[in-house]
Chains A and B, each alone.
Chain A
Amino acid sequence: MRLVRRTLSSKWLKTTFALGIALAFMLPIVWVFANSLRPGAETFTWLNPLSFQTLIPSSPNLDNYFALLETPLGRGIANSMWTTFLTLVFGLMMCSGAAYALSALEFRGRNLIFSIVIFSLLIPFDAIAIPLANIFKGIGLQDTVMGLILPGVANGMAIFLLRTFFLGIPKELVEAARIDGLSWFGVFFRIYLPLSRPALIGASLVLFLFQWHAYIWPLLIGTGESTLLGPIALANMKSQYAVDYGLVFAGSVVLSLIPLVLILVGQKHFVQSTTTSGIK
């Protein structure tokens, strides 16, 4: 009995400890969220002295979120959604196709091509973004949606992840289907894709975060009205002389909430697919 009580209290001790840590991590987000619900003029007024109103607005409203629709930031968030959506659709098609060719199809030079994929993983994209942007400007891709999404659609990490998963699909299954007359395209669409949901979710997260979190690339390549992305618009707004933090924080919440929902949904699958991807 005494032992049970001791483990119980040590459990709640851990909860208290973890709660303290979680609150520290959440504090900036809670503060930003609270201030997105009140006028920008009040952002720094409830800080000295600290009170419950620092984190809880007395009359919360969504005015900032509606006002966002009229600003370049609102437009930028819409642009971010559209480019990320396109990156995800084309990226999944290209990466799963390449992973399929590199795992199911046997051809001469396969290992060489796979080593090109691995080699591309070692070149940090941010470091070569500036020379690549100069190439893109030379061929007229500056300020185009195409220019924004192209570097994100072929993702070495996503190919690597999917290929590792595809290698686990039994060869006998493929051979049986081939004998029954299924084409290589049929094998891909009817066998590989339906069996690979966890890996496809993991790859989607990789592709999504690459595009949604991108900063240096859209800063170099997209400055026009239809290609200005959310994070760039937000940083522009912050560097203006008079910053409306109500608006800035509402934009921050929207830009963070979308990936958050996807991460929480995909979290379990993501952990699974990293453990099966050979990282461990």
Chain B
Amino acid sequence: MKNKELLPALGLFLAPALLALIGMRLIPAVQAFVESLLKTNVFSGDKTFVGFDNYISLADNPDFQNTLMVTLLFTLIVNPLQVVSALALSLLFVRKFPFSRLLRSLVIFPVAVPPAVSAVMWSAMYRPDGLLNSIFTSIGIPTQGFILDEKQALMSIIVMLSWIGVGYWMLFLLAGINDIPDEIYEAAKLDGAGYLRTTFSVTLPLLSRPLSFVLVATTISNFLVFAPVLILTKGGPNGSTSLLMHDIFIRAYSFGDIGRANAAVFILIGLMVVAVSLQFFLLRRGNEQ
């Protein structure tokens, strides 16, 4: 087929989306990288090329070091927690029992709630006089600070994010389990395998692709958590919830430090690439064994 003949069709069908993707994904990414190499003079607005100075000064900054530590700790807790919970829920809800579909829909419900709305709802739940503390009081647990307590704030955000996400990731795993052929289960049954044996020797190995997809997707989305931090804690108390996206936003808008904000964007993208590659590497090695 000749390209010439197709030109009008390509111009109409392909060009709009392609130009939009280039203009609104690729160009800003390139521009962000260029900006991360520049330093803007606050008074004159002049930009000078400073190489990797912005990256180096971030690495030396104690606040940014704290942000990296908090983000790392957060990543190490929230992702395994969400994947394991989603897996446990999918193993429960894949089985047929009375009202299983209705109850499954209720677990998915929080996915519909926009993240900013969830944060506003949970800020009321977490108040000292809120719903969670009143439940705690009624069973004899003293009032907790949750998002006001330096030691509990990060965990409180993790609980809220899991409430939002676990049902969603469960959907992908359910679809994966449903795709495993029934014959394999029948064969396992004939061989006398019980429920636990079937789960560990049949379901989990055959679920490794959807599981690795969910692990990678949760990792990416959890690196980008922003609205809950801004609405619930603003990075506090005492920097204990200072996640990277929030740090970038504050640098760009409160400090007007565009150069270092963009350097932080690339540190974030770099961290995501490292985390995701590491997962692929470990999963591949696990599969070969």
- Residues of A in contact with B (beta carbons under 8 Å apart): 11-12, 14-15, 17-19, 21-23, 25-29, 31-32, 43-44, 47-50, 54, 94-95, 97-98, 100-102, 105-108, 113, 116-117, 119-120, 123-128, 130-132, 134-135, 150-151, 153-154, 156, 159, 184-185, 188, 212-213, 215-216, 230-232, 234-235, 238-239, 245, 248-249, 251-252, 255-257, 259-260, 263-264, 267, 270-271, 274-275, 279-280
Contact = CB atoms under 8 A, between A and B. Distances in A.
Interface string B153-172: 00000000001000100011
B262 to A, nearest CB: 6
Contacts of A126: 224, 226, 245
Contacts of A235: 116, 119-120, 227, 230-231
B278 interface: no
B20 interface: yes
B117 A98 contact: no
Given A15-B99, A29-B110, A234-B116, A116 B18 contact: yes
- The 5 nearest A-B residue pairs measured at CB: A154-B20, A98-B17, A260-B112, A231-B116, A101-B14
Contact of A25 (B10, B20, B114, B167): B167
Contacts of B121: 28-29, 32, 249, 252
B76 interface: no
B108 A128 contact: no
Contacts of A116: 18, 21-22, 26
Interface stretch (B28-36, B50-58, B60-68, B184-192): B28-36
A245 B124 contact: yes
B246 to A, nearest CB: 10
Contact of A105 (B10, B28, B108, B130): B10
A215 B114 contact: yes
Contact of B130 (A11, A44, A102, A130): A44
Interface string B243-255: 0010011001100
